[in-house]
A and B are shown apart, each in its own frame.
Chain A
Amino acid sequence: MIYPIKSYHKTFIILAISLVLIFILNISLGSVFIPFKQIILALLNENTNNEAWKTIILNFRLPKAITAILVGSGLSISGLLMQTLFRNPLAGPFVLGISSGASLGVAILILGASFIGINITAFAYTNWGLAIAASLGAFLVLSAVLLAAIKVRNTMSILIIGLMFGSLTAAVISVLAYFSSASQLQQYLFWSFGSLGNLTWHEIITFLVIFLIGLLLVVFIIKPLNSLLLGENYAKSMGVNIKLTRNTTLISTSLLTGVITAFSGPIAFIGLAVPHLTKLLFKTSNHKTLIPAVAISGAIIMLICDSIAQLPNSEYTLPINAITSLFGAPIIIWLLIRKRKIY
């Protein structure tokens, strides 16, 4: 008798190899041309022909590529968790207003400082200030959406409530923007474009630690998430603690989305699109397979988006948010038009 649960070793190996290749490709691309051999030498911490190349690789391109991997996999996992928890294929950190919450937190910090007349600019200009504000904002809005979700059973309504929270925060941000100075506005705008660069190794380590805490929580809800595929009542009848599962999902999602939005800005569509692409590829709903699968796929797609954003051999870098939307929106439209079942 054949063991009736498919194993996905082959697909995972192919994905892992692609990830490594795209990682190296991403590091090779940039405004300065560096020979491939020198890149490998720099990555191995050997001496390169040109000291500047080593600095570029180790202090700029490598941190950026690592950030891309964290952002891509974290947002994709968050999207998957939301889709299972809300039992809705359109759920995702962006649609449910979580990213808007993070934006609101940052907007209040950057734009609101002058509005309430307190000078916290020195603090606000550090990445730390942004990180804390974004995480708080994300957590706040997700909690509000979740409170609504407990009251309202209809998942469509929950989605609309999420969208409403999104518009609400957008409106508050507009008001704040109206009263703020040009330089503050510019700073906020640049943050909202999203950026994978500019992170120091210190910041990346903090990013990684919070990311790993979020990820650790996810590991513990794999089993209850699978039972939630049959709906809450069945899950309960199989002994699942719904409240604990929901809260763990809430906390891990806001940790992941919060820290990502804090360090890289609100990045659209990855959280929504990658889980669907992965589900098409793997044709399974089992979270034990899907969670590592979306993590790797998310990292690959984020690295591709970042490579495109750098406009190879030019000095310009496009906003990463524009690239992910350009890539994500057509995929969702294509999925819907082809009337593929999306889960």
Chain B
Amino acid sequence: MVINTKKKNLLALKNNQKHIVKTTDLSIGYASKKSSKIIASNLNIELDKSNLVCLLGENGIGKSTLLRTLTKVQPALNGSIFINTINLNEITNHNLSKQLSVVLTEKLPESSLSVFELVALGRQPYTNWVGQLNTKDIEIIENALEQTNTKHLMHAKYYQLSDGQLQKVLIARSLAQNTNIIILDEPTAHLDIHHTIETFTLLKKLAANFGKTIIISTHEINLALQLSDELWLMTPQEFITGKTNDLIENNQLNKLFTSDLIHFNKKLKQFTILNS
């Protein structure tokens, strides 16, 4: 019996092996004592490492809820999530913090943290009980600042930064956390087109050259189509995942919006307004 279950576990491990993020029949939403509100269900994800994934969908369809569930901020209603083949429920917050880091949309509380200090907080999972940085930590922090091109801002207070600079610094913080997976919730929501493109290309570079697995929710569909390796489409009917080019070929993007006003033009690789 014992050997049997062990074999089963091994088999399960093998099946999951390649996928850095995997979900099976995941349902997300909000549960309270009286009732639960399911926002989306039957979400099946099989994601390999070193990919840039864009999560697309209408406002209010549950993109943030999905990301919050994947990052263990809120519990799944049903189904399971595997990070590096281990069930998310069995990973402690501390261990998870070494595998998965986040960049959130929420406004930071007021403080006089400097850019260096803010990025240095990313080392918290690795530092001792008072948060002492050693030379290796400082090297990693400097690397993160260099990769995001923010080293010159090191001594500035974070509240002096522009939105574009702050976004790069927050990405640097998650790089300092040294995780394989980075999840970003609408990282370009407040940015102009220049900084949006800069952020996207930075994320693309991190995925392609540094083996990071990056998941972002975004409304920048055109950029997502050009730069992402994979798309997750949340539509009212279904949850579609796949290689970006395949989804374009198969006309899946048209399912994204219920509106009759726009249509996905396969040739132009973008949404266009329909003339009725």
Interface residues in chain A, defined as those with a beta carbon under 8 Å from any beta carbon in chain B: 1, 3-5, 87, 89, 219-220, 222-223, 226-227, 229-231, 233-234, 236-241, 279, 283-286, 288, 341, 343
Binds A, one of B92-100, B191-199, B227-235: B92-100
Partner of B104, one of A89, A223, A233, A284: A233
B104 touches A234 (CB 8 A): yes
B96 touches A4 (CB 8 A): no
**Chain A contacts for B142, CB-based, 8 A:** 1
Q: Is the CB of A237 within 8 A of B129?
A: no
| A284 and B112 in contact, given A4-B155, A223-B127, A237-B101 (Cβ under 8 angstroms) | yes
Q: Which residues 182-226 of B sit at the A interface, judged by CB distance below 8 A?
A: none
Residues of B within 8 A of A279 (CB): 112
User: Which residue of B73, B101, B124, B129 has the most chain A CB atoms within 10 A of its CB atom?
Assistant: B124
Kindly report which residue of chain A lies nearest to residue B179, judged by CB atoms: A237
How distant is B245 from chain A, measured CB to nearest CB, in Å? Answer: 32
Whether B124 pairs with A227 at a CB distance below 8 angstroms is yes
| Complex Cα–Cα for A9 and B187 (A) | 39
Is the pair A226, B73 in contact by a Cβ cutoff of 8 Å? no
Not counting A284-B112, A284-B114, a sample of 7 additional A-B residue pairs whose C-beta atoms are within 8 angstroms of each other reads: A220-B129, A223-B127, A226-B121, A233-B104, A233-B106, A240-B124, A285-B117
Contact: A231 with B108, CB < 8 Å?
yes
A227 pairs with B121, CB closer than 8 A: yes
Alpha-carbon gap, A5 to B154, bound state (A): 10
Cβ of A285 and Cβ of B113 under 8 Å apart?
Answer: yes
B109 at the interface (CB under 8 A from A): yes
B104-142 interface bits toward A, Cβ cutoff 8 Å, 1 = contact, 0 = none: 101011111110111011101101011101000010001
In the complex, the answer to whether B112 meets A87 with C-beta atoms within 8 Å is: no
How many residue pairs at the A-B interface have CB separations less than 8 Å? Answer: 95
Query: A170 CA to B113 CA in the complex, in Å?
Result: 38
Asked if residues A226 and B110 are in contact (CB atoms below 8 Å), the reply is no
Contact sample, A vs B, 8 pairs, CB 8 Å cutoff: A3-B138, A222-B131, A223-B124, A227-B124, A241-B93, A283-B112, A284-B117, A288-B131
CB-CB under 8 A from A237, the residues of chain B are 71, 73, 97, 100-102
Interface residues in B, total, Cβ within 8 A: 40
Provide the bound-state CA to CA distance between A233 and B109, in Å.
11
CA distance A231 to B100 in the complex (A): 17
Interface centre among A1, A89, A237, A283 (most CB of B within 10 A): A237
B110 touches A343 (CB 8 A): yes
The smallest C-beta distance from B255 to any residue of chain A, in angstroms, reads 31
Closest to A237 in B: B102
Contacts of B177 in A (CB 8 A): 238
Main SS at interface, chain A: loop
Closest residue on chain A to residue B127 by CB atoms: A223
Contact between B109 and A230 (Cβ–Cβ < 8 Å)? yes
A234 with B131: CB separation less than 8 A: no
In the complex, are the beta carbons of A238 and B131 less than 8 A apart? no
What is the interface of chain B mostly: helix, strand, loop, or mixed?
loop
Which of the listed residues A223, A239, A288 has the most CB atoms from chain B within 10 Å of its own CB?
A: A239
Q: How far is the CB of B225 from chain A (nearest CB, A)?
A: 29
CB distance from A211 to the nearest CB of B (A): 21
Q: Contact: A229 with B121, CB < 8 Å?
A: yes
- Cβ-based interface call for B159 (8 A): yes
- Smallest CB–CB gap between B72 and chain A, Å? 8
How far apart are the CA atoms of A229 and B121 in the complex, in Å? Answer: 10
B127 vs chain A, min Cβ distance (A): 7
Looking at A226, A227, A283, A341, the one whose CB has the most chain B CB atoms below 10 A away is A226
The answer to whether B116 touches A229, judged by C-beta atoms less than 8 angstroms apart, is: no
A236 contacts across to B, CB distance below 8 A: 73, 93
- Cα-based distance from A286 to B130 in the complex (angstroms): 11
The answer to whether A341 and B124 touch across the interface, beta carbons within 8 angstroms, is: no
Our pick among B102, B120, B155 for the contact of A234 (Cβ within 8 Å) is B102
> Given A223-B127, A288-B130, does the pair A343, B112 have CB atoms closer than 8 Å?
yes
Q: Is the CB of B112 within 8 A of A238?
A: no
A314 to B17, CA, bound (A): 82
Q: Judging by beta carbons under 8 Å apart, are B124 and A238 in contact?
A: yes
Tell me the B35-58 residues at the A interface (CB within 8 Å).
none
- Give CA–CA (A284, B155) in the complex, Å: 12
Question: 5 shortest A-B CB distances, which residue pairs?
Answer: A239-B97, A239-B94, A87-B109, A285-B111, A223-B131
What's the nearest-Cβ distance from chain A to residue B88, in Å? 13
Q: Which residues of A contact B94 (CB under 8 A)?
A: 239
- Nearest CB in chain A: distance from B240 CB, A: 28
A341 near B121: Cβ-Cβ < 8 Å = no
**Of the candidates B104, B109, B154, which one forms a contact with A229 in the assembled complex, judged by CB atoms under 8 Å apart?**
B109
Which residues from chain B contact A341 at a C-beta distance below 8 Å? 110, 112, 159
Q: Which B residues lie within 8 Å of A3 (CB)?
A: 138
Set of chain B residues within 8 Å of A241, measured between Cβ atoms: 93
CA distance A341 to B110 in the complex (A): 9
In the bound complex, CA of A284 to CA of B106 (Å): 22
Q: How far is the CB of A82 from chain B (nearest CB, A)?
A: 13
Pair B102/A4 contact, Cβ less than 8 Å: no
Among B109, B114, B129, B159, residue most surrounded by chain A Cβ atoms (within 10 Å) = B109
* Cβ A238 vs Cβ B113 within 8 A: no
Minimum CB–CB distance for A159 against chain B, Å: 14
Given A233-B104, A237-B101, A4:B129 Cβ within 8 A: no
B117 touches A286 (CB 8 A): yes
A223 engages B130 (CB within 8 Å): yes
With known contacts A5-B116, A236-B93, A230–B121 Cβ distance under 8 A: yes
A231 pairs with B124, CB closer than 8 A: no
